């Protein structure tokens, strides 16, 4: 029975018994397994998924002050050296085959969001052409969960066409791709690869709330 590592695609030289394979949470070889360290959700910040922060962390409190809501983002893994290694090879070197690295964990967590519209954050047209793929969609595709790209990055018109007031406001980088009515009263789950400041997620969430979304939550692969 030929089983391949979900990450590097090499044959899994069986150090696992059949029983272990059945009950394992992942399908990674010895080397790739070490790349991913799961965040314990029970002790993570309820706003951004930062590990070891039982209540809302400082950053999230600031967001709440500034924008009036909390992201409720969940993060799967620590953004440590291992994860960085995976994402560099996947996103920056461009090895599309690595997209299945944690498909089992991702599929499982998405079961908790069945009534949500699942929406991956989009890339700019340029970045998509250069990379050849959207790294979030690459991972999602293998979960077989249905998703929809509700947002697109708006190509910003030249600065000279904006008034000073418009230019000073923080730019909303996204636009809806679907009519407002499809968003109204809906629960939406935004998905991105890494949560750094949360800025992008918050922009997206603001736009959705402005168009009548009932609740917007986030899911990132790493924090």
SS (H, E, C) the chain: CCCECCCCCCECCCCCCHHHHHHCCCCCCHHHHCCCCECCHHHCCCCCCCCCCCCCCHHHHHHHHHHCCCCCEEEEECCCHHHHHHHHHHHHCCCHHHHHCCHHHHHHHHHHHCCEEEEECCCCHHHHHHHCCCHHHHHHHCCCCCCCCCEEECCCCCHHHCCHHHHHCCCCCEEECCCHHHCCCCEEEEEEEECCCCHHHHHHHHHHHHCCCCEEEEEEEEC
Contact segment (CB under 8 A) with other proteins among 50-58, 94-102, 171-179, 192-200 equals 94-102
Q: Could you say whether residue 129 binds other proteins (CB under 8 A)? A: yes
Beta carbon nearer to other proteins, 13 or 54: 13
| Shortest Å distance, C-beta 88 to other proteins | 12
CB of 121 to other proteins, least distance (A): 16
In eight-state DSSP terms, residue 90 is: I
Sole binder of other proteins in the list 4, 10, 31, 180 (CB under 8 A)? 31
- The single residue among 38, 61, 84, 131 that binds other proteins, judged by CB under 8 A, is 131
**Closer Cβ to other proteins, 15 or 163, answer by number:** 15
Rounded least distance, CB 190 to other proteins, Å: 20
Select 49 or 138, whichever has its Cβ closest to other proteins. Answer: 138
146 binds other proteins (CB under 8 A): no
Q: Does 55 bind other proteins (CB under 8 A)?
A: no
What is the b/e burial string over 95-124, where b = at least 16 CB atoms within 10 angstroms of the residue's CB?
A: eeebbbbbbbbbeeebeebeebbbbbbbbe
Binds other proteins by CB under 8 A, chosen from 137, 142, 145, 152:
137
Give whichever of 11 and 166 is closer to other proteins, judged by the CB atom.
11
Candidates 25, 58, 80, 94; binder of other proteins (CB under 8 A) is 94
Cβ nearer to other proteins, comparing 191 with 213: 191
- Residues near other proteins (CB under 8 A) are 31, 93-97, 128-129, 131-134, 137-138
């Amino acid at each position: 029975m030929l089983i391949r590592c979900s990450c590097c695609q090499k044959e899994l030289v069986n150090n696992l018994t059949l029983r272990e394979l059945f009950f394992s949470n992942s399908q990674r070889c010895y080397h790739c397994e070490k790349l991913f360290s799961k965040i314990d959700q029970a002790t993570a910040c309820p706003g951004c998924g930062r590990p070891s922060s039982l209540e809302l962390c400082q950053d999230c409190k600031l967001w709440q002050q500034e924008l009036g809501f909390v992201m409720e983002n969940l993060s799967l893994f620590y953004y440590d050296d291992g994860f960085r290694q995976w994402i560099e090879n996947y996103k920056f070197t461009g090895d599309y085959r690595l997209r299945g690295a944690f498909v089992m964990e991702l599929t499982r967590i998405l079961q908790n969001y069945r009534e949500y519209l699942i929406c991956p954050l989009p890339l700019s047209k340029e970045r998509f052409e250069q990379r050849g793929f959207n790294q979030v969609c690459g991972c999602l595709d293998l979960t077989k969960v249905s998703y929809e790209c509700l947002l697109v990055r708006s190509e910003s018109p030249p600065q000279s066409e904006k008034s000073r007031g418009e230019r000073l406001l923080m730019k909303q980088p996204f636009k809806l791709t679907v009519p407002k009515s499809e968003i109204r009263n809906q629960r939406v789950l935004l998905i991105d690869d890494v949560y750094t400041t949360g800025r992008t997620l918050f922009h997206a969430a603001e736009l959705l709330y402005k168009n009548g979304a009932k609740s917007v939550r986030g899911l990132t692969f790493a924090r």
